[in-house]
Amino acid sequence: MKRKLLSLFLVLVLVSAALPLPAAADNTGVCFSATNDTLLDLSSAAVYSGGGVYVPSRLFSAFGIYYSYFSSSATGMLYTSSRQIFFDANAGNCYDSNGNYYSATAILHNDQIYVPVGWTCRYFGLTYSFISGIGYGDIVRVKNGSEVLTDSQFLDAATSLMRSRYNEYIGSSVTTPTPAPTPAPTAAPVEEKEEGKSGSTTLCFIGLPSSTVLDQLGKHNFHACFFLTAEEISAEPNLVRRTYCAGNDLGVYCKSDPESEFPAAAKALFEVVQVSPTLMTSPSAAAKVCAEYGQSHACAYYTQQNAVSAATSSASAVTTQLEKANGHITLTLVSGSGTNKLIASLLQYLTTKKFTVLPLLETGV
């Protein structure tokens, strides 16, 4: 009992000794999140609450710290192979796997668990810094020692992207916070032409992603749906956790027999990430039986659209489809060496052309 009281006292000392949070320097109320040298999209923005800064739990997946959420109890879990911590948003406390309670609290924001950045960084051996902005928001930067840029260098490098994202966030077409000189007559038309058309797409993958695919999706803050077999889930549980914790959706891929394959994959998926799948797909030869199975088991069947051959390694073959598309287009890619080669160019194209990448929804398949 004395040991637990002493532990709690030390935790309180650490919390009280934390650096005070600087006020938002530019008074925008916006605070970007960043991991090492990567600025995250505003969908992962930090929030201010009670004088502290809170970040989405999934942000820490960039450092191999996985996340699960239990909606019935509004509890989020962050964990590695050696450390686990549970944040109970309703009770306003957190505890580890040994039953030790801590004074740190999490908040429920937009149906996500947000955790105190300073406390969480200390618990998992990370560091963070607060970078005052210059008119487009501040930055909370979480680091593990692998960063290359100093905070001032990072702010300089990120300012242009921050400005663009901030202006989109407030719904403004103005590119600078103060009046700028009138551009040359050719400037506006050239910029509009280079940006091209803006559309929307959904990315679906058959099979486990490689680190290359996940890294590229994270770089552009895009999310996809990955259809997996029971064998893939059981063989690579850590990769499945990383995929899910990065914000991607997971479905089941049935090769031929959904009666046996779907329950096995669903069980394996729940054991790894505590999620029950609601999406499934299959080769065209098994489409009819799988679609019927899905209908009778409250699982939406995805009919693969705009399939990209596993042998395709050039992004131009895919971007050509996107150029011809009118409205929304769903792409189906096969995980493998070909996809690894084209993924960087494909995602850069989507970013440059200002495509919105939408999730695959049960109601839309």
Same domain? For 232 and 349 the reply is yes
Q: Is the pLDDT of residue 116 over 50?
A: yes
Mean pLDDT over residues 294-322, rounded?
Answer: 88
Give the CATH number of the domain where residue 249 resides: 3.20.20.370
pLDDT for residue 362: 67
Segment holding 32, helix H or strand E: strand 31-35
Same domain? For 97 and 242 the reply is no
pLDDT digits (tens, 9 = 90+) for 321-332: 888 877 889 999
pLDDT for residue 52: 81
Please check whether residue 129 lies inside any domain of the structure: yes
Same domain? For 229 and 140 the reply is no
Indicate the residue among 169, 188, 223 that finishes a domain: 169
Burial classification of residue 192, based on how many CB atoms lie within 10 Å of its CB (0-12 exposed, 13-18 middle, 19 or more buried):
exposed
Q: What is the pTM of this model?
A: 0.51
pLDDT for residue 7: 44
Same domain? For 212 and 160 the reply is no
Please check whether residue 190 lies inside any domain of the structure: no
Same domain? For 317 and 214 the reply is yes
What is the band of 265 on the pLDDT scale with cuts at 50, 70, 90? very high
| Of 347, 275, 344, 362, the residue nearest 66 (C-alpha) | 275
**Chain-wide mean pLDDT for the chain?**
83
Same domain? For 254 and 343 the reply is yes
157-166 — which CB contacts under 8 Å span 24+ positions? Answer: 157/37, 158/32, 158/34, 158/39, 159/134, 161/39, 162/32, 162/39, 162/133, 162/136, 162/137, 163/135, 163/136, 165/32, 165/41, 165/42, 165/136, 166/28, 166/30, 166/42, 166/136, 166/137
Q: Is the pLDDT of residue 230 over 90?
A: yes
Same domain? For 343 and 210 the reply is yes
**322 alpha-carbon distance from chain centroid:** 23
What is the band of 169 on the pLDDT scale with cuts at 50, 70, 90? confident
Please check whether residue 8 lies inside any domain of the structure: no
Please check whether residue 11 lies inside any domain of the structure: no
Which tokens go with 166?
């901030």
Same domain? For 138 and 271 the reply is no
Please check whether residue 83 lies inside any domain of the structure: yes
Please check whether residue 154 lies inside any domain of the structure: yes
What is the band of 33 on the pLDDT scale with cuts at 50, 70, 90? very high
Indicate the residue among 169, 188, 216 that finishes a domain: 169
Please check whether residue 149 lies inside any domain of the structure: yes
Which range, of 101-110, 127-136, 189-198, 355-364, averages the lowest pLDDT? 189-198
Please check whether residue 114 lies inside any domain of the structure: yes
CA distance 200 to 349: 12
Q: Is the pLDDT of residue 37 over 80?
A: yes
Same domain? For 50 and 118 the reply is yes
> What's phi and psi for 291, nearest 5 deg?
-65, -40
CA distance 282 to 290: 7
What is the band of 196 on the pLDDT scale with cuts at 50, 70, 90? low
Give the CATH number of the domain where residue 57 resides: 3.30.457.10
Q: Which of 51-65, 130-144, 250-264 has the highest mean pLDDT?
A: 250-264
User: What percent of the chain shows pLDDT beyond 90?
Assistant: 46
- State the residue range of the domain holding 143: 18-169
Same domain? For 22 and 150 the reply is yes
CA distance 157 to 37: 9
Same domain? For 233 and 336 the reply is yes
Give how many domains the chain has, as a whole number: 2
Q: Is the pLDDT of residue 292 over 80?
A: yes
What is the band of 9 on the pLDDT scale with cuts at 50, 70, 90? very low
Same domain? For 38 and 92 the reply is yes
